[in-house]
Amino acid sequence: MGENVKLVPFEIKEVQSNVTEIPEGVSLIGAPSFWEKGYRGQGVVVAVLDTGCQIDHPDLQGRIIDGHNFTDDYNGNTLNYNDNNGHGTHVAGTIAANSNGQGVTGVAPEAQLLICKVLSGDGGGYYDWIINGVRHAINWRGPNGERVRIISMSLGGPDDVRELHDAVMEAVLNDILVVVAAGNEGDDSEDTYEIAYPSSYNEVIEIGAVDLNKELAYFSNNNTQVDCCAPGMGIKSTYLGSRYAVLDGTSMATPHVSGALALIINYAERDFRRELSEAELYAQLIKRTEDLPYLRSSVGNGIVKLDNYEKVKALVHFINANFA
């Protein structure tokens, strides 16, 4: 199938060599509140379908469990899934960069990453590459029987391809959460819709972007399938050359939610003492959102705020204990 799938457009704002921080976006969604309780994404495998990853980046050591190249890059060597663009490395870092006192820290710093290189160095790809990547993530098993719980895709195209939709539905039927960037074709108007695929499939979790002040990003796509939003402007994460970059895009919002879901899996499955279904985990995510003053077609249920649900529960408990 034709090469119509591309990276969700993004803008590089700055590249840095030395960084030691928890990025603002990671803090804004409340990830540190989960870390303090011992939930850091341990045991959760996230498949990152992107341009690959710098596998020897210091901040990602120990985080990559496996990988596969589905593109023509590197003469089609399926074992070489190194990033030759930068985008995939940035996404991977936001999800799971180590918390080791140097560099940046990802949302789920103990999650593991399955790197699926489905886009070439120029950011383009064929639908077949994406479809094969999704199916690989569904069927993949780790050395100790691990399986993928989350697929993260910051890519899209204009065509509704039946085989891609089928692959997405198969992933969801296998209780894999599929998280997809809404796209950056927004015209800074909430009155018009912008449609891309696979983000517009009802089965995926479509992610819009806000800035670090929780204001809607001017480029974020609007449509009736947006589920929630996350920080997507001024996002600092890992980059090629063992460096760090500040990027803008719904591409950057998406891995915040993928990482958040890894933390939610830790928390909710320990709480319920069983493995939860895709639908149950989606409900747990939506419980942890904060409403924003925009149309649902722009921000869905609002910005992901991992500590929001617990704050509401504590307030209800206080009211019941003191005023009931």
Q: Which residues are catalytic?
A: 50, 87, 251
Task: Calculate ∠ Cα 214-172-93, nearest 5°.
Answer: 45
Q: State how far the Cα of 207 lies from the Cα of 230, in Å rounded to an integer.
A: 7
Cα distances from 14 to residues 39, 203, 234, 244, in angstroms, run 31, 35, 9, 8
Give the sheet arrangement for strand 45-50, strand by strand: 64-69, 112-117, 45-50, 148-153, 177-181, 205-210, 226-231, 303-304, 289-290
CB atoms closer than 10 angstroms to residue 323: 6
Q: Can you read off the two tokens belonging to residue 45?
A: 């495998």
Cβ partners under 8 Å of residue 292, min gap 6: 210, 214, 216, 229, 299, 302, 303
Whole-number Å distance between alpha carbons of 219 and 212: 15
The pair of three-digit structure tokens given for residue 240, joined into one six-digit string: 């090629």
- Quick check: helix, strand or coil at residue 253? helix
